[in-house]
Amino acid sequence: MRHLTAAADRIDYWIRRHIVPCGTPSNAIPNRDKYVALTAIGQSLRDQYDALAAPVPPHLAALVKQLEAR
């Protein structure tokens, strides 16, 4: 029985240390930090997708320019 109690105590300790959220530091601004992080991720993804995008054929690019001029 002592072994089970010790195991339960270890599990409880682990949960309290790793699962239970703790307060954020007083100098942190979570919303701004989240915005900055998401913006950086979005920019990185945009750069990767732009690098993989197939170039537009010249005849289609000319048609787009004609339509934009109207």
Per-position pLDDT tens, the chain of length 70: 667 678 888 888 777 777 766 666 666 667 777 888 889 998 888 888 877 777 888 999 899 999 999 8
**Closest among 63, 64, 45 to 53, alpha carbons compared:** 45
Listed in sequence order, the DSSP H helices in the chain are 2-18, 30-52, 58-69
C-alpha angle 62-63-65 in degrees, rounded to nearest 5: 65
CA distance 16 to 2: 21
**Contact at 8 Å (CB) between 30 and 36?**
no
**Token pair of 24 as six digits:** 């954020």
